[in-house]
Chain A
Amino acid sequence: MASLKKDSDESSFGSARPTTEIASASPVARDLIGLLTHEDLDRARDRWRVTRARWKGRGAKRFGGLRVLWLLVGPGVLVFLGENDAPSMLSYSATGARFGVGFFIPFVVLTFVMGLIVQEMTVRLGAVTHRGHAELIFDRFGKFWGFFSMGDLVLGNFLTLITEFIGIRAGLGFFGIRPAVAVGVGLIVVVAAMTTGRYWTWERITLGLAIFNGLFIPAAILARPDWSAVGHAMLTWTPLPTGHSSEILLLILADIGATVTPWMIFFQQSAVVDKGMQPRDIKAGRFDTLLGALLATVFAIAAILATVPLFHHGIDASQFQAAQFAEALEPWIGHAGAALFALGIFEAGIVAAIAISTSSAYAFGEVLQTGHSLNRPVRDAWPFYSTLLGSACAAAGLVLIPHAPLEFVVLTVNVIAVLAMPPALAFLILLVNDRDVMGEHVNGFWANAAGIAVTVLLVCVGIGFGLATVFPSLLGG
């Protein structure tokens, strides 16, 4: 292909290109035999499981049977439940406490539809190219744009990681656990997950933890929601929120930032690559992403419903942190409900801390062109694991500094995520339309229309935020 340059002088490997050629059938197969690594063997083992499951389930019409789905589910569920993180659940809780059941219920569903549109593209990119998002941006757009993109990611990821440890501290704080112990527990879980030396084990451990995001469901049921009002809100998007327009806009921004963020793009694409997914797995990858979006939507709405009693009793929750939400809810959902809520915030922080620190590590590894796989032993990929551990330790340490301006971080994290999203989406849409990279898997018309619509919407919301900041009186303060 004319636009692809040969980057290796030493062999017949040639240029990267969109292909599904099996390695053993490749002209360079003989060269590869002596170069296989531990990472290749682990990935081959994962592929063998999928192949065998698909062969066994070859009678099944879609996907190749439940066993295939079980094996291929992971990145999509993790990315969405990871994004239902501590600041996101607090945004949903603040929404429920401030506005009750109404406009924001269907709005949150819409944000997850937006997230689904974006994340589906990352599945295709990862499965077709076998390369992470940061690597592709550097390859196709050069270092100049690559470093801008990485700057957005690093800033957003680090601020978000801090809020995860704030959530971990606050969640366990409800049970009287000291901050240093709570943060230490969080770090131990992150380290335990990363030292498995196997993507598959890491993914299953994190999925096991992520499912506890569902703790918000019993908390919501204990709040005895008015289901007819929920149904009415879903159909009519009413009652509309009332009050200061700037406050409403901020919550809209925070709720969008709770669902579509740059780290999700980088993480899911890298996870798809690390899992070893291939183009034939794209359908299953889509199912995985849809499942993740559905679960996350249900859990997010549960968080809103759990805090609706605060709205009905006129309690001002605008300055609440996690433990305060749980304490304030106790009279209405009981100690068990409040404990579930606090545990839910703790879990949200833990899973997101694992996913976001891994996202940073993948991106660094791709940019530095060093080993960046959870299938690699620590000694073979120490820059990757150091980034993962270093970012988690730095965020955890900051949370323990007395009088650190953490409210600054909590206030900004989801807003920054939304504002940094349009350039990330532009790179994503350009890459997924790049036939030299994607081959036959380029975006179709509707995928482009949906992706561009999401980008334009995010830009408009950002401009609205800008106008509200510069001219506070424009939107009624």
Chain B
Amino acid sequence: MKSNESDSRFPVTPQGDGPVHGIAAKPDLKDPQVVLSLLETDQVVAAKEKTRFGRRNLSLGVRLLLWGLRIYVVAMLVLVVVSVLRAVHSMH
């Protein structure tokens, strides 16, 4: 993975005319190069829309985990309904 720690890639005004010497006081966002220099490739909407993370292979263990938790949630939701019906009944 590339390092991203240097600031040298950011738009620089030759005159250093901003309050901070070396970085423009206002970015010229009409210039696409300036916009692209501020964003990572995957932050650009067009690039993100054209690429996707593919499906991962789910091992047996992962599938069992996901199914187990799914059954857990469904069972618990049934119990919530039972519990609330009891509570509402006792309120009235």
Q: Are B50 and A13 in touch, CB under 8 angstroms? A: yes
Count chain B CB atoms within 10 A of each CB in A20, A22, A459 and give the residue with the most.
A22
Question: Which of B47, B49, B88 touches A23 (beta carbons < 8 Å)?
Answer: B47
Given A28-B41, A54-B7, A405-B88, check contact A14 B46 (CB 8 Å). no
For residue B58, give the distance in angstroms from its CB to the closest CB of chain A.
Answer: 7
Q: A52 to B75, alpha carbons, bound, how many Å? A: 53
* Across-interface contacts of B58 in A (CB, < 8 A): 141
A5 on interface, CB distance cutoff 8 Å: yes
Q: A131 to B83, alpha carbons, bound, how many Å? A: 38
Given A51-B10, A130-B42, check contact A33 B4 (CB 8 Å). no
* Across-interface contacts of A41 in B (CB, < 8 A): 29, 35
For residue A44, give the distance in angstroms from its CB to the closest CB of chain B.
Answer: 4
Q: Are B53 and A140 in touch, CB under 8 angstroms? A: yes
Given A39-B45, A462-B72, check contact A22 B4 (CB 8 Å). yes
* Across-interface contacts of B39 in A (CB, < 8 A): 22-23, 40, 43-44, 47, 276
A10 on interface, CB distance cutoff 8 Å: yes
Q: Are B53 and A136 in touch, CB under 8 angstroms? A: yes
Q: Are A469 and B9 in touch, CB under 8 angstroms? A: no
* Across-interface contacts of A43 in B (CB, < 8 A): 39, 43
* Across-interface contacts of A56 in B (CB, < 8 A): 20
Given A41-B35, A422-B72, check contact A4 B29 (CB 8 Å). no
The SS class assigned to the B binding surface is helix
For residue A138, give the distance in angstroms from its CB to the closest CB of chain B.
Answer: 9
A437 on interface, CB distance cutoff 8 Å: yes
Bitwise, B28-64 to A at CB < 8 A (1) or not (0) is: 0100111111111111111111111111111000100
Which partner residue on chain B sits nearest A319 by CB separation? B91
For residue A71, give the distance in angstroms from its CB to the closest CB of chain B.
Answer: 13
Question: Which of B1, B38, B69, B82 touches A20 (beta carbons < 8 Å)?
Answer: B1
Q: A39 to B4, alpha carbons, bound, how many Å? A: 23
- The tally of residues in A whose CB lies under 8 Å from a CB in B reads 84
* Across-interface contacts of A466 in B (CB, < 8 A): 75-76, 79
For residue B66, give the distance in angstroms from its CB to the closest CB of chain A.
Answer: 6
Q: Are A44 and B4 in touch, CB under 8 angstroms? A: no
Q: A37 to B66, alpha carbons, bound, how many Å? A: 38
A229 on interface, CB distance cutoff 8 Å: no
Q: Are B66 and A145 in touch, CB under 8 angstroms? A: yes
Question: Which of A4, A5, A13, A20 touches B2 (beta carbons < 8 Å)?
Answer: A20
* Across-interface contacts of B73 in A (CB, < 8 A): 152, 419-420, 422-423
Given A33-B32, A141-B55, A152-B73, check contact A55 B43 (CB 8 Å). no
Q: Are B23 and A278 in touch, CB under 8 angstroms? A: no
Q: Are B53 and A436 in touch, CB under 8 angstroms? A: yes
Q: For chain B residues 70-92, which have a beta carbon within 8 Å of chain A? A: 70, 72-73, 75-77, 79-80, 82-84, 87-88, 91
Which partner residue on chain B sits nearest A37 by CB separation? B45
Q: Are B42 and A16 in touch, CB under 8 angstroms? A: yes
Q: For chain A residues 182-237, which have a beta carbon within 8 Å of chain B? A: none
The SS class assigned to the A binding surface is helix
Q: Are B80 and A419 in touch, CB under 8 angstroms? A: yes
A312 on interface, CB distance cutoff 8 Å: no
For residue A474, give the distance in angstroms from its CB to the closest CB of chain B.
Answer: 13
Which partner residue on chain B sits nearest A21 by CB separation? B41
Which partner residue on chain B sits nearest A38 by CB separation? B45
Q: Are A139 and B45 in touch, CB under 8 angstroms? A: no
Q: A244 to B34, alpha carbons, bound, how many Å? A: 64
Q: Which of the candidate stretches A286-294, A298-306, A406-414 sits at the interface with the other chain? A: A406-414
A66 on interface, CB distance cutoff 8 Å: no
Q: A15 to B38, alpha carbons, bound, how many Å? A: 21
Q: A319 to B88, alpha carbons, bound, how many Å? A: 11
A158 on interface, CB distance cutoff 8 Å: no
Q: Are B45 and A140 in touch, CB under 8 angstroms? A: no
A8 on interface, CB distance cutoff 8 Å: yes
Q: A51 to B37, alpha carbons, bound, how many Å? A: 11
Given A8-B50, A145-B66, A148-B70, check contact A24 B87 (CB 8 Å). no
Contacts beyond the supplied A14-B51, A20-B4, A48-B38: 16 A-B pairs with Cβ under 8 Å? A3-B57, A13-B51, A22-B37, A22-B40, A24-B33, A32-B32, A32-B41, A32-B46, A40-B43, A136-B53, A141-B55, A141-B58, A279-B4, A416-B77, A423-B73, A440-B1
B interface list, Cβ under 8 A from A: 1-5, 7, 9-11, 20, 22-23, 27, 29, 32-58, 62, 65-66, 69-70, 72-73, 75-77, 79-80, 82-84, 87-88, 91
8 A-B residue contacts at CB 8 Å?
A15-B51, A32-B47, A130-B40, A141-B55, A319-B91, A411-B87, A419-B73, A430-B62
A interface list, Cβ under 8 A from B: 3-5, 7-8, 10-11, 13-16, 18-26, 28-29, 31-37, 39-41, 43-45, 47-48, 51-52, 54-56, 58, 129-131, 136, 139-142, 145, 148, 152, 276, 278-280, 319, 369, 405, 407-408, 411-412, 415-416, 419-420, 422-423, 426, 430, 434, 436-437, 439-440, 459, 462, 465-466, 469-470
Report, nearest first, the 5 A-B pairs whose CB atoms are least far apart.
A5-B54, A35-B46, A24-B36, A23-B36, A20-B4
